[in-house]
Structures are given as structure tokens and as C-alpha cells.
Structure 1
Amino acid sequence: MTSVRERPPALFAGATRWWVRLLPWAVAFVLSVALLPTTVVVLTADYGLNGAVASTLAVAQAAPLLLAVVRPLAAWYVIFVADVVGALALLTVHFDERLLWPFPPMQIVGYIGLCLALGLREQRRTLLLVWLATVAANVGMEFVVPDGMSGDGTLLTILSGVALLLGGVIRERQEVQRRLAEQETISEAERGRRTLLEERARIARELHDVVAHHMSVITVQADTAEYRLASLSPPVREEFTSIAATARDSLAEMRRLLGVLRNEEAQGELVPQPGLAEIGQLVKATARTGAPVDFTRCDTSRYAEVPEAVGLSAYRIVQEALANVVRHAPGAVTHVSLSVPPPADGEGGPRLTVLVVNDPPPEPPARPLETGGTGHGLVGMRERVRLVSGTLDVGPLSDGGFRVAAHLPLIQEDFT
């Protein structure tokens, strides 16, 4: 397959004003239209050059100025050679000594315009080489200058150098302005992102304050129920104790999550994150709510170096799946299992399989605690699984139940 080289943009193509974008084309068109017939007339009438030769030189010296708007270096190659050939061609004819040689005024005007276009497009090294080539051509012409005639090579050398320098300064100034504009755009985006994160942290702190207050009230009421209500039976007292413990665990976990958003206060929140070992406690806490849950756990002792991210992801997946059962299918029998099946062909290393399956709710169905949801739970599961390069399969079963299956690689190179 052949690659197609992209066409370079025209000079000032990125300008915001339309007339600035058209300005290079207008200048190049005016120069070409004005210099082409003028060159033919001057070379034939004043210098006495053959009409065909004069016309060819005029076209080669003036027409490429239009190309200079897009490819000034390519136009310079053509015009430079045409100017040198034209100077040598003038040595074959006799003309008035008062006329300029080796470069008539038309060629000087066109060459200065071309040098300005070069300065606006090319890098410093290229501009220096162009100017050195111009100097070398002028110095070479001094050795063949006709007797009694003074050359104008010095004038062209100075004017071309000024034009190249001026164009280069303008180009570099535009480049600096463009980079400053890009940096300002990036800085503005960073400021917007920082503002968003600060707002999220503020909302998280406010949410923590509100929820923590109510959870604290629940904890106090549950803890003091056996003292305030003397007629409570032992099972009821145990239930209140379980409620208080669950509320305290929720408060502690909420504070840990808040510590992620409050880095400056994180020193007091560096509590170990839950992992595989805490899933059993999570299942027991769910069972205390009245939801029948059975837990099957394989022997993972041979995987002593289970990555922390894998254990945390497994815990969060089980936690969210059990919460969904309690909210949407209360009373349904739930099966939780952790296993490490032999890797299939192409799977690579061992993978921890987390499976949470709940049966249909009992008949007649109990009223769900929530009839709708935001879908954030499933999104959170997918993010957890993606974090450790695993796979997730969730969906309803044909009998009315629901299944959550996650496959998490136990060997990870990097989780950062």
C-alpha cells in the first residue's frame, strides 16, 4: 500500500480572520500577474534578450510564486535556478551598462517575496542554507561581471537576509503564541477538572455528615434497646446487637472511602481494605438479616500472594450482589462460592471465580425493599473487574433468579 503525503497547509491557514487566510494568496497572485509580463517586456526591450527565452524565464521566475503559498521551498528551487540561468543568459547579449545585473529589479522583487514566504514556513537551519546559497550565487557572479558594470548581488544578499529574518521572527512569534494558547487551554481543562473533583469531595463530605448522623442514631438506639426495653427476648436483643454492629461497620467503611477524597486527612484512615478473608463475615452478616445464604469456599492457601486488588474486587462484587438480593429479592435463597478451576486453553494463569446465584423469591413473593435502581451497582462491578483485567457475566436466569459470575486473574503484573 502506498502512503499519500498530506498536503501542507497554506500560509496563515490557521488564522481566525478570513482576510488573513486569503492575504498570502492575494499577494502571490498580484506579484505573479505583475511580474510575469513586466519581466518579458524588460528582458526583451531593455536587455535585448530573445523573446522566447525571455518568456520562458519570466514564467519560471514569476509563476512559482503561487506555489510558494503552500510549498515555498519547492518554489525557491525553481526560482533560484531560473534567476541564475537568467543572469547567465544576459551575458550573451549587449545592454546598457546602467541596467542592473545579474538580477533585474523584477527578479529582486519576486525573490524578496519568496524569501518572506520561506521565513514564514521553514525552520532556522533551512533559512540559513537558503541565504548561504544566495550569497554563494552572488559571489560567483562577481567573477563573471562584464567590464565596466557593477553588480547588484550585494543588494540582493542584504534584502534576502532581511526578508528571511523577518519571516522567521513572525513564524516563531506565531508558534510561541500557539503554544501559549494550547497551554492555556490545557490549564483551563485542568482547572475545570480540579473544580469538579473538589465539588465531588465536598458532596462526599456532606453525604458522609448526613448519613453518619443517621447511622450513629441507629447504632445508639440498637445498642441501648436492651436497657430501654426490659421486656426484650434474647433473640430480639441479639438482633439489635447485630444491627448495631452492622451500622458501625458501615460507618467505618464509609470513613475509609471518604479518606480517598480527603488525602490530607488520610493518615487516620489507613485501615486495611477487606479481601477474601472477610467474605465469610459478609455472608454471615447478610444471613443475620433473614436471607438464607450458603457459602462455599475453595482452598486458596496455595495462593498466599493473592493481589490485594483481586481480594478487594472479589469482596466488593459479593457485597454488591448480596445487597441486590436483599433489596430486590428478599427471602430468596442465595449461593456464594469462591473457586479456582483449572485454567482452560488460552486463559493463562489461575483465575479466581466468584459466583453469586440467587433463587427466585419465595411464593407469594415478598415486597421488594426497592422497586427500581440506578444501575450503579453493576457499573461498579464492571469497573472492579476491569481493574484486574478480569471478566464479568451477569444476568437473570430462566427460573426467575439472578446470576453474577466474575473471573479474576490471580497473577497480575501491575495494578497501578
Structure 2
Amino acid sequence: MSDEAPTPSRGRSRLRAAGDALAQLAPALRTPDRTAQPLFAQAPRAWQRLLPYAVVGIFVTTLLPVTITVLIGDYGADGGWAGALGVAQTVPLLLAVTRPLPAWLLVLLADTLGALLLTQADTVGGQSWPWPPMTVVGYLVVMACLGLRESVRTLVGVWLATGVLGAFLGFFRPSGSTDTAALLFVLSGIVLALTAALRGLGDARQRIAEQEVISEAERSRRTLLEERARIARELHDVVAHHMSVITVQADSAPYRLPGMPEPVREEFAAIAASARESLGEMRRLLTVLRSDGANGGGANGGGDGAALAPQPGIGRLQQLVEATVRAGQPVELSLAAAAVGVAPPAVDLSAYRIVQEALANVVRHAPGAATRVSVTVDEGEGEGSGQGEVLVLVVNGPARDAVVEVESAGTGHGLVGMRERVRLTGGTLDTGPLPDGGFRVAARLPLSAGGDMAAIDPNGKTEESS
């Protein structure tokens, strides 16, 4: 019983090995891109690209002397004619690697001429005719090359031409000879079908690989657009608050500052009108951005209450870390008091979201790993330089157990969202694995964040790319 138990496992292992070998050879089996491109020219390894030349070369060097010997010894053909026929029937096989259809025409013509000449041979009786064994082998080599390159219509035409020619030559068959026309017709059909199927497998695998690349590009683009739309929704709340303050201040200025000249009153009225118009435009934009949230709360995953809630900032990082610790993730927070309340709204929100998304990645990819979060303020060089920065650093150690590989290609929502937020504020982002198996997220967000406001476009267009 112990000897029989591993048998299914060994069988599956052999099947997997065969499948892997075929998968590696699949790129070589697909249809060449150009007319005169050699067979297997697109193979990934050099020995695979040289394989057709080696195989055809072996057949030529073997068939040439055998053909001459058999024609002279078995069929009693003249030595000169035997040598000429041997060369004409075998040497064109070398052309089949790059141009199998012309090679087939040359071989077919030489084989037909040889069949007609053999009708006058001394000992053709009792021998194979019109296709001697060497002719059948050489012809099948050409059929294999044709099946790996030509279209199905061409292959059907070649196969039918082989059968029609064999039937036509049957009218001239010498008495006592063995008719091999049907044999070649059947064998050539089998070879054409098998090689065409292998080529079809290679083409199918190539199309699948190309489709996977396209799908991955589309998935990355969709992820980027979703992140940009989410960031735009959040920034709307920040900008709308400031626009509302401008509107209120401009409308109330004549009452707070009595005795204001009429031109100044008109100027404040124009400011208030422009601010109200801008608020209206932003509300219409927000309606478009949140149109997909009617049924599910939009990208933020909440309902209307979540969409209308105040946007978080650096001051709420303590609550975020405490919630992560309660979820079982050991996190240590170092938050400089100078970082709270000094950052512009866009930087304040971006810093919070970067930490939030970094912790989410730690929970997914390195559960249980010790994590440190640090948010500080760098005042910059020189007094009054105005070049201060908020420094956000999230570092985690290796996971305690085997988990999914840390995201490093930048195709997930976490790193995409971080990059978009950092680019919005004009900062820099540095992410990557650590030597001990952990991961690092470091962001520098300038306090004078002019940023790239045009970069956040729901249609995915930026000033850089447009």
C-alpha cells in the first residue's frame, strides 16, 4: 500500500513538469511576427532559437546519403540521377526554417520528379512508390515547419494538394510497387494538425500575457483615478470652508466697519459674489465626485454622515494609533507638539491619511510587527526662510508570521494614495523594504504647500501629462 500511495502524486508532478516545460516553450511556438523570421526566433533562450536549425540540419545530413544509397541500391537508379534527386529532395529542408512554403514547393517538385523517374527504374517493383521512405520523412519535416508558421487555410490547401498529387500519380504506378500516396496524405495531415495546434497554444498564451499586461495597466489607472477622486472630495471640504469664511467676512465687512466708502463696499460685494459663485461651482463638482456614493457612501466607504464629517488632521493621530493598538497591532507614536495646528489644511489632512494608509498596510502585510510612527516639524535653514516641513515617518519591523509579500510595485491603493497626496502638497515620499524584512514610509510635506492643485483631476489628467 505504501508503494502505491505516492503514484497519483508522482503522476501529478510529471504533469505539472510537462505543463511547465510547455509553458516555457510556448513563446517559441507562436506565429513569427515577420515573413522571413526563423522559427522559434521569439524564444527566450538561445538554445531554443537554435533548435530548428539543429533539427533540420540533422535530418538533411542523415537523409541525403540515405536517399542516394536507397535509390541506387533498392531502386536501381542511375548514380548521377540518384545524387541529383537526393540533393533536390533534402537540401531545400534548410529553407523550411525561415520560408517553409517555398521550401515545400521545391520539395514537392523534386519528389514528383523523382516519382516519375523511378517509374523507369530497374527494380521499382516491390518497392514503395511514388514516395519512398526517405521522401516521406523529409516531406513530414517540411509539414512540421509549415504547421508552425502558416495559416489554417494555407495548411488545408497544402494538405489537399498533397492528396490530389498522390492520386494523380497513382495513374502511373508501376506494377508490383506499393502505393504510399495514401500513407503520406494521412501522415502529413496528422503532422499539420499537431503543429498547428501547438502554434495555436503559443499564440493563445501570448494573447493571454498581453491581455494581462493591459488589464494590469487598466487596474493601476483605475486605482489612481479612484485615489485622485477621493483626495479631491476631501480637499473640497477644506477649500469650501475657507471660501465660506471669505464670503461671510466680505458680506459682513460694511457692518463691522461703518463709514466705509462706496467703492470699497462695491469691492467687498464683488468679492462676496465671486466667493458664492465659486462655492456653487465646487458644490456641483462635489455632486459629480460623490455621484457614486449614493448607494454606498463613495470612496470613503461611509454614508452621507461620513462624507459630511470634518476632515481629520495631525491632531487626531493619537486616536488613530490607539484604535490600531486596540486592533492588536503594537504601534508607538511620537508626535511633536509643534506639528499640531501649524500645517495648512491640505498638509494636515495629507499627513493624517499617509499615516492611516501606512498603518493599514502594516496590518495587512505585517500583522503583529512592531511599528513606530513619528510626526515632527523641520523649521528649515535660516531664520524666516518659510521653508518648514512636516516630517512623517512610519517604520515597521518584520511580520511575526508568513504573510503576503509587502506591496512594493505601487499598484495598490495605499502607496498610490500616498504618492498622490505628497505630490499634491509639493513634498517628497520615500518608501521601501528594510534589510531586516520590515518596511519604511517617509514623507516630507512643506508647510508652504502651494502644491499641484491641478494634479487632482477626476479624469486622471495632470498639468504634467496634458
Alignment of 1:50-199 (within 5 A): 50-95=78-123, 97-199=125-227
Shift of 1:80: 0.5
Q: Distance in 1 between matches of 2:257 and 2:224?
A: 51
Do 1:37 and 1:58's aligned partners in 2 also have CA atoms closer than 8 Å? yes
Do 1:97 and 1:148's aligned partners in 2 also have CA atoms closer than 8 Å? yes
Shift of 1:73: 0.9
Alignment match of 1:252 (pick from 277, 280, 284): 280
Q: Distance in 1 between matches of 2:173 and 2:66?
A: 24
Do 1:215 and 1:247's aligned partners in 2 also have CA atoms closer than 8 Å? yes
One-letter code aligned to 1:87: A
Shift of 1:375: 12
Q: Distance in 2 between matches of 1:150 and 1:98?
A: 6
Shift of 1:16: 2.4
Q: Distance in 2 between matches of 1:252 and 1:17?
A: 62
One-letter code aligned to 2:105: Y
TM-score of the superposed pair, with normalisation by structure 2:
0.53
Do 2:126 and 2:176's aligned partners in 1 also have CA atoms closer than 8 Å? no
One-letter code aligned to 1:222: A
Alignment match of 2:260 (pick from 233, 236, 247): 233
Shift of 1:263: 5.5
Change (3 A) 1:232 1:54: farther
Do 1:100 and 1:152's aligned partners in 2 also have CA atoms closer than 8 Å? yes
Percent identity for Structure 1 against Structure 2: 54
Deviates more, 1:256-265 or 1:24-33: 256-265
Structure of greater Rg: 1
Q: How many residue pairs get matched?
A: 270
**1:255-292 CA distance string (max 9 Å, x none):** 344556555489xxxxxxxxxxxxxxxxxxxxxxxxxx
Q: Which runs of 4+ in 1 moved over 6 A?
A: 372-377
**2:97 aligns to what SS in structure 1?**
coil
Alignment of 1:203-222 (within 5 A): 203-222=231-250
Q: Distance in 2 between matches of 1:230 and 1:141?
A: 114
Change (3 A) 1:263 1:17: farther
Q: Distance in 2 between matches of 1:374 and 1:190?
A: 24
Segments of structure 1 that go 5 or more residues without pairing to the other structure are: 1-5, 267-369, 378-382, 388-416
Shift of 1:191: 1.7
Shift of 1:45: 2.7
Shift of 1:18: 2.9
Q: Distance in 2 between matches of 1:233 and 1:156?
A: 107
Shift of 1:242: 2.8
Do 2:136 and 2:184's aligned partners in 1 also have CA atoms closer than 8 Å? yes
One-letter code aligned to 1:131: W
Confirm or deny that 1:8 pairs with 2:36: yes
Q: Distance in 1 between matches of 2:39 and 2:179?
A: 33
Shift of 1:201: 1.5
One-letter code aligned to 2:218: E
- Higher relative contact order, structure no. (Cα contacts within 8 Å, ≥ 6 residues apart): 2
Change (3 A) 1:12 1:215: same
**1:16 aligns to what SS in structure 2?**
coil
Do 1:259 and 1:265's aligned partners in 2 also have CA atoms closer than 8 Å? no
Shift of 1:238: 3.9
Change (3 A) 1:80 1:254: same
One-letter code aligned to 1:202: R
**1:104-151 CA distance string (max 9 Å, x none):** 211111111111111111112211111111112222232222222222
Change (3 A) 1:374 1:199: closer
**1:143 aligns to what SS in structure 2?**
helix
Confirm or deny that 1:48 pairs with 2:62: no
Q: Distance in 2 between matches of 1:15 and 1:74?
A: 23
Shift of 1:233: 2.1
Do 1:87 and 1:101's aligned partners in 2 also have CA atoms closer than 8 Å? yes
Shift of 1:7: 4.6
One-letter code aligned to 2:156: L
Match of 1:28 in 2: 56
One-letter code aligned to 1:66: L
Shift of 1:96: 6.0
Q: Distance in 2 between matches of 1:254 and 1:66?
A: 72
One-letter code aligned to 1:43: L
Change (3 A) 1:134 1:7: closer
One-letter code aligned to 1:112: L
Do 1:101 and 1:150's aligned partners in 2 also have CA atoms closer than 8 Å? yes
Shift of 1:373: 11
Change (3 A) 1:20 1:205: same
Alignment of 1:187-336 (within 5 A): 187-227=215-255, 229=256, 231-235=258-262, 236-258=264-286, 261=289, 264=292
**1:63 aligns to what SS in structure 2?**
helix
Deviates more, 1:235-244 or 1:57-66: 235-244
Shift of 1:225: 3.4
Change (3 A) 1:25 1:262: farther
